Amino acid sequence: EAGVVQSPRYKIIEKKQPVAFWCNPISGHNTLYWYLQNLGQGPELLIRYENEEAVDDSQLPKDRFSAERLKGVDSTLKIQPAELGDSAVYLCASSLAGVETQYFGPGTRLLVL
């Protein structure tokens, strides 16, 4: 069984440019999470989806960040415009509905210059 897939693995952009990250969860996992991981820190939740519905986006900086999961399977996280402080690893995770155990993807390492 394939794990959580993310792309790209690395992205370097200049500040003020837009950037998008893609995630494909484990097959059958209804719940999808986007996390931000700063260097030397634990992951912090940005948004949680149950199928196509964003049920917790309280930590998502909505002035520049947006996310979608239109068909309830794969998801895209976008930043526009990117700032220097957005440099971090963006992790996607998934779980079965109602189950606490989450499985992580390899992450996208973003560097904003």
Partner 1 sequence: GENVEQHPSTLSVQEGDSAVIKCTYSDSASNYFPWYKQELGKRPQLIIDIRSNVGEKKDQRIAVTLNKTAKHFSLHITETQPEDSAVYFCAAYNTDKLIFGTGTRLQVFP
User: Which residues of this protein are in contact with partner 1, per CB under 8 A?
Assistant: 3-4, 40-45, 48, 55-56, 91, 100-107, 109
Q: Strands 5-7 and 19-24, how do they pair?
A: antiparallel
Minimum CB distance to partner 1, residue 112 (Å): 19
Q: Taking the C-alpha atoms of 27, 29, 35 and 37 in order, what is their torsion angle to the nearest 10 degrees?
A: -60
User: Which residue number, 41 or 80, has a Cβ lying nearer to partner 1?
Assistant: 41
Asked if 85 and 24 count as a contact pair (C-beta separation under 8 A), the reply is no
Minimum CB distance to partner 1, residue 104 (Å): 5
Minimum CB distance to partner 1, residue 42 (Å): 3
Minimum CB distance to partner 1, residue 100 (Å): 4
User: Which residue number, 72 or 81, has a Cβ lying nearer to partner 1?
Assistant: 72
Going by the DSSP 8-state scheme, the letter that residue 108 receives in this structure is E
The C-alpha atoms of residue 14 and residue 26 are separated, in whole angstroms, by: 32
User: Which residue number, 52 or 81, has a Cβ lying nearer to partner 1?
Assistant: 52
Neighbours of 40 (CB within 10 A): 5
User: Which residue number, 63 or 100, has a Cβ lying nearer to partner 1?
Assistant: 100
Residue whose entry in the numeric block shows the structure tokens 């999961």: 69
